[in-house]
Amino acid sequence: MTVPNHVEIIEVGMRDGLQMETDFVDTAIKIALIDGLTDAGIQHIEATSFVSPRAVPQLADAAQVLAGAKRPPGSRFAVLAPNIKGVEGAIAAHADEIVVFLSASESHNQKNLNRSIERSMHDVAEIAAHVQETPILKKGAIACAFGCPFEGNINPETLLKIATHFRSLGFQALTLGDTTGMATPPLVSQTVSMLREHLPDVRLTLHFHNTRGIGLVNVVAGLNAGVDSFESSLGGLGGCPFAPGASGNICTEDLVYLMHEMGIQTGIDLEKLIQVSLRMESVLGRTLAGQVMKAGPRLRLHSYQNAACATG
């Protein structure tokens, strides 16, 4: 299998990242950050979440964010929509795509959504029926697709059953979420091969976390398995509720840098993207996990005159 020569990078920091922040980021700042992302050439953005503002107060301004952000031609704004109420909010706000989650792990689904996988699959069917007459795109997202922090390994049959359910309901795309960073290169290869064999017409996206430092290695395993769509977060925004101090989502700039250095196109301007991540860092007032935003691309050279060196 040859590696794709173009990949789609879906920015999830505005949703998956910001939802974990303690402080509310002003709506105008969110809009400016999203405008910065589209200006840098990111077309596909998971922009916010239509969930209960009590559950996720950080994203209570979902409708205003969608109304305020520029929508350049070719852009696609996705939003999380966990139930019919969320879906209605998404439609009213002219979201291009809804993302509907469930977990491949029974205990994680119970903890996260307060219901069984079976019950969640029923909910997904209701949502699909509800949007059937609308042009909104549907993406299924399977959390803990590569492992569960409570249960360990995931039964491939459970994963396939959920993926098949999404497909049968007309979901065009499917994200495999590595919610707590348990994916490994062999697991990625096996999982992608299995799903491609049984569901060849589903567009697969991989969503890795860098919790154990190997997020970008898993991206390369995904590329080698033929996947050309990845989710990541500006600056590596986001974290892991199970491992204090550990990284969350893989970082968009680092991913873009790697793709470009491997000769794979993304349509994204890395220098502009770095500026957006630096702005996010200054908004949040703390250092983010991203590396390229600190070091710059490899040929951003340094002045010989003032440099200090240490052998190594």
* Minimum distance, C-beta of residue 211 to a second copy, in the bound complex (Å): 5
228 close to 6: Cβ distance less than 8 angstroms: yes
Q: Cβ of residue 148: shortest distance to a second copy, in angstroms? A: 8
Give whichever of 1 and 299 is closer to a second copy, judged by the CB atom.
299
The CA distance from 115 to 157, in Å, is 20
Q: How far is CA 20 from CA 33, 76, 281, in A?
A: 17, 23, 15
Cα of first residue to Cα of last residue in the chain, in angstroms, is 37
Nearest C-alpha neighbor of 12 from the set 177, 167, 220, 217: 177
CB of 200 to a second copy, least distance (A): 27
Q: Write the CB contacts of 119 (distance below 8 Å, at least 6 apart in sequence).
A: none
CB atoms within 10 A of CB 183: 29
**Which residue, 137 or 220, has its beta carbon nearer to a second copy?**
220
Residue with tokens 């792990």: 105
144, 148, 240, 251: the catalytic one is: 240
Instruction: Tell me whether residue 71 or residue 272 sits nearer to a second copy (CB atom).
Output: 272
Under a CB-based contact definition with an 8 Å cutoff, are residues 177 and 141 in contact? yes
3-class state of residue 240 by DSSP: coil
Is 200 or 298 the residue whose CB approaches a second copy more closely? 298
Smallest gap from Cβ 212 to a second copy, in A, equals 5
- Cα distance between residue 167 and residue 155, in whole Å: 19
SS3 state of residue 173: strand
CB of 36 or CB of 177, closer to a second copy = 177
- HSE of 259 in the Cβ direction (CA atoms, 13 Å)? 27
CB 167 within 8 A of CB 202: yes
Q: How far is the CB of 108 from a second copy (least distance, A)?
A: 7
Q: Give 20 or 284: the residue with its C-beta nearer to a second copy.
A: 20
Asked if 123 and 83 count as a contact pair (C-beta separation under 8 A), the reply is yes
Whether 240 is a known active-site residue: answer yes
Residue 310 class from Cβ within 10 Å (0-12 exposed, 13-18 middle, 19+ buried)? Answer: exposed
* 77: β partners: 45
| Per-residue DSSP letter, 132 | T
Query: Alpha-carbon distance 188 to 198, whole Å?
Result: 16
- Which residues are catalytic, by number? 240
